[in-house]
Structure formats: C-alpha cells, structure tokens
A and B are shown apart, each in its own frame.
Chain A
Amino acid sequence: MSNGIWRLNSRASLREGPNGDEGVLLDTYTADICSCNGTAWTILQIIKKGAAIKQIVAGVRKEYDVSMKVAERDVLSFVRKLKSMELVDGQ
C-alpha cells in the first residue's frame, strides 16, 4: 500500500445523508451505489481532500475511540476496497 497521497478519483461521487455522519458512495462509471457507515464516511471525507494513510488513521482516531492497530486495519482494508473498485488513486 503506497505511503503517498490517496485521493478519490473522478469516478467517485459522494452524497451526504440527512444526518451528515454517513452517506452514499456512488461509482459514476457503473452507477453502483455503496451505503457507507460513519467510519467509512469519515475516511471518505479525508480521502476526498487527499491524504496519506497515516493522516487518514489519525483522522479516524480523532473521531472514534479506537486503538492505532484497529484504526490502521480498518483504514487499510477500506482503502484496498476502494482501490479494487478503481475509485481512488494513490501516489
């Protein structure tokens, strides 16, 4: 997994839910819709602006009371998933 900056690419579009703490990730190439829980939504908000894995993990820990290990595992798993869906670019 690249240590560089990860950023959502032009295929990805985010739609915020009514409460602002979760929402929908839309793959505009396939029109596939992914409903995102609070953690996923937090990660997406950080990646939208572009961030390194370390920064994303720090952002998740700022919002949620989780250990570094758990936060790292969740972030890496989610970014890998986004990569397999071709929705993020990493430098």
Chain B
Amino acid sequence: MGNKARVALTGFAGFDNPEPGIGVAEALRSGWRGELEIDSLGYDAWQAGAWMHGHANRLHIIPPLALGAKTVFKRILEIHDQSPLDVLIPNLDLEVPVFSGLKPQLDKAGIQTLLPPQKSYQRTTKIGLPRFCYDNDILTPTTIHVQNIDEVPMYADSIGYPVMVKGSVAGAKKVNNSSQAYNDALKLHAQWGGGIILQNCIDEDEYCVAQVAREDGSCLGMVPMRKQGINRRGKAVVGSVVNAPDLERISLEILEKLQWRGPLELEFMRSNISGQFYLIEINCRFPSWIMLSAFAGCNLPVALLKEILTPGGKRLRRPNAGISFVRDTHDFVVCEKGFNKIERFGSVEALGSFPAKTTRKSNSKNKPVVAVTGISAFEEVLAGCGVSQALAQAPNRPRLLGLVYGPYDTSAHRPGTFEAIHRLPVEEDVEGLLANILNIQKRDGLDVIFPCIDFEIDRFLEIESELVANGVKVILPPAKAHARRGKFKLFSKRNKRDWGPLQLPLSKVVRKKKELKAAFEEFGFPIVIKGEMTGLNIAANPEEAKSIFLQMRDEGIETVLVQPFIQGDEFDFAAVCASDHSIIDGILIKKLSKNELGKNWGCATVNNPFLVDAISEFLKHLGWCGPVEVEMIRDVKNDCFVVVEVNPRFPAWISYGVQLGVNLPFLSMQRALGKDHSTSASNQRPIYMRSCETLMADPLDFATIATRGILQNGD
C-alpha cells in the first residue's frame, strides 16, 4: 500500500457550524506524507468545504440515509467501481451506525474502516448516555429524555433555569424559561424527531477531548481542548489545547468503558467550584475543530488513516499545550459547469473550483493605506471579511490594516492579509474613536477607512468631517440617506409608491404587547419580528410571537418592526452610488444557499435590468451615495421583489465581484482617492461559495491585541 491512499470522507457542509469532514480533510492534507486522494461524499452539491481549493479531488452525491443502508452501499460501490477507494471515514453522527453496520460488505469490497460496534455506539447517543454514565459512575448533569413535548415545561421547571434543550441527534439551545423551552423543543423535535433532551446547565468552562481508539479499543492518541471563544449560538470559534492530566485520565477511562473503535469526541463542563469534569455529550466522530490536532503536533486524522491501513501504530505523543485555533471563513468560486455536472451526474472532478488570486502584499510607501473594520466571522460573517478579501485581490492592492474590537475577531489571525491589526474602543464615545484613528494614521499612515459594521456607521458619520480634514477618507453613505434607510423609516408611507418590480412590505412599528396583537391580527401568520439594528425572528402563532417579543425585550430591544413573512427566493444587490445618486456599478445575485440565520453562503449572479433600474430609482429617492446593499425577497404570489433591508455598507459576499470583474471595494477606494477606476464585467458566471477554515493562532497574539491594542504582522 505504501503511502498512497484514496480516502472517502463525508461531512463537508454545515455553513458556520461546519461539519467535521472539512477539518479532517485539512488535517489529512497538512500531515499525510505520500500521495493522498480525497473523495467527498455528500447529500447535495452544496458541499462547500469539498469545493474549497485543495480539499477534495472528487465530489460525489450519495443517497440520503433514510433510503436505507442497501441503497447507500450500492452508491458507494458505484463510486468504488469507477476508481477504488481504500478507506471510508464517515464524519456525521447519523452515518456512523449505518457504515458500521455495512462493515462486512465494505470489507469484502476492499474499503477499510475503523468504526465502533453498534453496542458501543448506542451508549453514546443522547438518549443512551445518561444510563451509560449512571452504570459507570461517570459524572454527568441531570438529564431527562422527554418524549411528549407538551411535558417539556413541567420537566424544565423541575430541573430549573437556565436549562439546555437538546435535539435527539443534534442541536442545542440554552433557555431561561418554560415558554422558551417549549418553543425550542418544538423546533428541535420537528427537525430530529425522537423527543428532546433536557439537561441541567452547568454554566462553567467547556472542555472537549478528541480521541482515536485502535481496533482493540486502546487509545492511539488524544487532544484535550478548552473552548475559549463561544458565540451566542454556543459554537466554539476559538479554542486551545490544554495540558490536563486529570481530564486525560477520565477520557481514557470512558474510552475503555465504551469499548470504542475509531474517532470520538467527549464534551465536558468543568465546575469552577469543585473543579470536577461533567461529561455532557459523546460524539461518535471527529469534532469540527480537529485541525487543531495537526497544529499541535498530534494529527489524529493522519493517525487514524495510518491505523486503518497499517494497524498497530504507536501511541501519539502529547499535543503541544497552548496552541490555539480560530475559525474563520473563506470565500471562493466554483465554475458553473462543474457545479451543474455534479447535480446532473452525481460525481465531478474537483477541477471546477479555483482559488482567489490574492496579490502579493506590497510594503511600497506609495501604496494607499486602507483600514477595514468588521473583519470577523465570530457571530456571523461581517462585511469586512469580504471587503478585505476583495481589496487583497486587487491587481494594485493597497496596504491593509485590520480594525478589530477584540482579540477573537477571526480574520485578524489570517496570515498575509493585514500589515497590522489595531483595536478600536468599544465605548460609544466618538472622541475616543477619533483619537484612536488619528493615532493609527500617525503610526501607519492611513488614507481610507471602510466601516463595515452597521452599528459603527453613526459613529463614523459623526467624526467623518474631522477625519477628512486630517486626510482620511471614509467610505460611508450621506447621513441623511443613512437615516432614511433605518428599518423604522424605510418602510414608512414617505417611501411607498410605485417602484415597478420593487415593492416595500406592509410594516408596523411595535412597542407594546397590545400593538403586537394588532399587528398579527392585521397580517395573520407567519410574521417576521425585527429589531432596528439586530434580531430577526419568525413567529408562526400568537404564543410564539409574544415569546419572541419578550425575549427581544430581555435583550434590550424595546421597539420592533413587524411584517408579514414572505415566502420566496432571496436576492441581493450590492452597488456603489455616485454623488449624483446614480449607480456606478453593481452586482445582482440570487441566494442559492443560506445558513440558519438566512445569510448568504452560496449564490450566483442574475441579470434583471428592470429590477436594477427600479433599485436605482429607489436609491436616488433615498439620496444614496457610496456603498449599499439592498436585500429582497421575490414574492411568489405577485412576482414582485420585496425590499427587506437596505444596508449602508457592502455585503459580506462582496469579494465574489472580483471574479466577475467588478471589484466594488477597490472601485470605492479609488474614487475616494480621486482616481479613475473602471470595472469590466467578465462573461464568466461562476458560483460563489463560502466555507469555514481553521486558522492557527498564538495566545500571544490574543494578549497583544487585548492589552497593547496593536498587533504588527510578524510580531
């Protein structure tokens, strides 16, 4: 066999909650010595992590597991017959028992695996875990499996709040009252079936351990990690390898009691009071952060592959404690032909994707210095990620500075993009912001700033004239136009007229419960409830609407906008407007793939001159100038494009324009500097995609950003 291997991996989708196959592929690519071919197996064409350049050699669509193991095996054999697979590593929870059950057939076909026996797998399910812990004296929080969703409030009350509501297979939400518990239980039960799990919330530090067990159940290697940066949806975006002998001992005991084979992830909470570790979950596959094992010198996916091909390998050395990861995102395009091929034929060579051409960084003093805010994918992908990628790909790229609000702003850790990172003050004091930016200008020189987060726009508008007086151009819309696009004003009567194919939705501004009731009595259900700056929720009935309204109030959102929910495809228009409010250039896209927040993770351009003309008239009416994003939904009932939002900045997908010959951030920069720049749209119509990417980070960088406020690239 030598060092040549052809491996089939699953789990390349998942948006900002990436499936583990992406990390497994990254780790195999970084550590495998020898020829390695990776085939991705997914359930549709949107396997973004597999399309990402350098991950998979081939992509295949396999039938859903619900069609039965036989059907899945038949498709695997088809792929195997075309070009033989050596190894199969499933990376999704529901796949593990299916492929484990298929082991005799896979063995016979010459496809090797290392997977747990069914009995061991059953112990790790969310439903089986409490019993396993009880039988083996393993500390775990109080856990109740509730089959009848109507009983959820009663059991949640008995555990106390906050309580974790978990789906029978995946998904979890921390809730603070019985009404939230019930609503989230309904959603999770609808998604996964099998009732839901309520778990006492031990609100302390979270630790995870990734392991690989040999065929005989012994441990081949393990990597313990503490989650350091957890976003509002409970996902770890930043984590570090730890040196915790007691956690390692507990993990080894659990592995032995499970009689496991193959990859595994244990999730723990550590009580700050007792210091004890509580096992909260076992995942029967590698975690999505597994690339950290490669960064830390203990590459578990490589160890697994070696063990499958040549069993009996030596136990891996301990990982280097302190090595950290940050989960960032990467934008790229896939050629339309390749994308169509997998949809129509089920398989494709991954030649259709091509990497973004980042131009070489230039330290020339003649280059303009451009600072970009919103360079983070921590909570959601902010526009600065796309703006900085677009500027970095410009043929005459400027010198880039990243402006962050904290050490966990993810793109700050992307190598090769920014010359320096500067931390901006989080306080609302605009004087402090102005002083900070002028200091940056003194230190690094500064010609242009791109504010890319909605909440910053007002602050930057306040200091714009002083920045301009100091030679710093700011890419902003005019203050009056910005005020008109605010959600509460945008949908007012003043803006309602015949805009052709463009339409403004019915809307009500709601401050009290009574007004909420009046709104849903007028609109019916479902309705959308939005905050002025953040928050977007869909309610299907009065109870849910009231619960969302109260929850948003708890989060400090006093006034909300209520609109009827509109069903239809989503479209997005990004443009730059001139000072006479005409559109200089723009890109109209249709969203093809969205995450659970409805954000664009895959799209294609569309040609609709009538719509663009209508948007152009609307923007003129608003008095727009500078960058803008207009989000729309095409109402299936009347075929109109209903405006959902007008944003005073570029969208996060803006680097897509580079591949279309329309680099709008670069165009804005050039115009701000008084230089001519023309765009030349290409005839290519590639598909835009975004996938997560694990970056290595140094704790020293976190500390430097947090305390000194400046991180020089190369520090």
Contact = CB atoms under 8 A, between A and B. Distances in A.
B706 interface: yes
Contacts of B242: 28-31
Contacts of A18: 712, 715
A55 interface: no
B532 interface: no
Contacts of B243: 10-11, 28-29
Given A15-B698, A17-B700, A31 B228 contact: yes
Interface string B228-239: 100000000001
Contacts of A76: none
Residue in A10, A18, A23, A30 with the greatest tally of chain B CB atoms within 10 Å: A30
A24 B699 contact: yes
A24 B205 contact: no
A18 B706 CA distance: 15
Contact of A30 (B226, B704, B715): B226
Contacts of A17: 700, 704, 715
B703 A24 contact: yes
B240 A31 contact: yes
B699 A26 contact: yes
A30 B205 contact: yes
A33 interface: yes
A15 B226 contact: no
Q: How large is the interface on A (under 10, 10 to 19, 20 to 34, 35 or more residues)?
A: 10 to 19
B237 to A, nearest CB: 14
B38 to A, nearest CB: 31
Given A30-B226, A35-B706, A35-B707, A24 B700 contact: yes
Contact of A15 (B205, B700, B707): B700
A15 B700 CA distance: 7
Interface string A4-34: 0000001101010110000110101111011
Contacts of B702: 33
Nearest to B714: A18
A46 to B, nearest CB: 21
Interface in B655-708: 698-700, 702-704, 706-707
B636 to A, nearest CB: 49
Contacts of B205: 30
Instruction: Please report whether the interface of chain B is mostly helix, strand, loop or mixed according to DSSP.
Output: mixed
Interface string A48-64: 00000000000000000
B700 A31 contact: no
A28 B712 contact: no
A23 B700 contact: yes
B321 interface: yes
B426 interface: no
Contacts of B368: none
A66 B239 CA distance: 40
B332 to A, nearest CB: 31
Residue in A11, A26, A34 with the greatest tally of chain B CB atoms within 10 Å: A26
Contacts of B706: 35
Given A11-B243, A24-B699, A31 B322 contact: yes
Residue in B241, B243, B702 with the greatest tally of chain A CB atoms within 10 Å: B243
B244 interface: yes
Nearest to B226: A31
B244 A29 contact: yes
A15 B322 CA distance: 10
Given A15-B698, A18-B712, A28-B243, A33 B703 contact: yes
Contacts of B226: 30-31
A10 B703 CA distance: 21
A23 B715 CA distance: 12
Contact of A28 (B321, B700, B704): B321
B452 to A, nearest CB: 27
A23 B698 CA distance: 12
A65 B332 CA distance: 57
Contacts of B703: 24, 33-35
Interface string B467-480: 00000000000000
Contacts of B321: 13, 26, 28
A15 B715 contact: no
A26 B321 CA distance: 9
A17 B712 CA distance: 12
Given A11-B243, A17-B700, A26 B712 contact: no
B249 to A, nearest CB: 13
A53 to B, nearest CB: 27
A84 to B, nearest CB: 14
Nearest to A36: B703
A44 B284 CA distance: 42
A31 to B, nearest CB: 4
Nearest to B702: A33
Contacts of A26: 321-322, 699
B84 to A, nearest CB: 43
Interface in A52-91: none
Nearest to A11: B243
Interface string B595-638: 00000000000000000000000000000000000000000000
B634 to A, nearest CB: 47
B639 to A, nearest CB: 54
A40 B193 CA distance: 55
Contacts of A15: 322, 698-700
A36 to B, nearest CB: 9
Nearest to A18: B715
A10 B699 CA distance: 17
A17 B702 CA distance: 12
A55 to B, nearest CB: 27
A11 B239 CA distance: 17
A28 B707 contact: no
Residue in A10, A18, A26, A31 with the greatest tally of chain B CB atoms within 10 Å: A31
Contacts of A34: 703
A29 B205 CA distance: 12
A34 B322 CA distance: 12
Closest 8 CB pairs of A and B: A28-B321, A31-B240, A28-B243, A35-B703, A35-B707, A31-B226, A15-B700, A24-B703
Given A28-B321, A29-B242, 4 more contacts: A18-B715, A24-B700, A33-B702, A35-B704
10 contacts: A10-B243, A13-B321, A18-B715, A23-B700, A26-B321, A28-B322, A31-B226, A31-B241, A35-B706, A35-B707
Interface of A: 10-11, 13, 15, 17-18, 23-24, 26, 28-31, 33-35
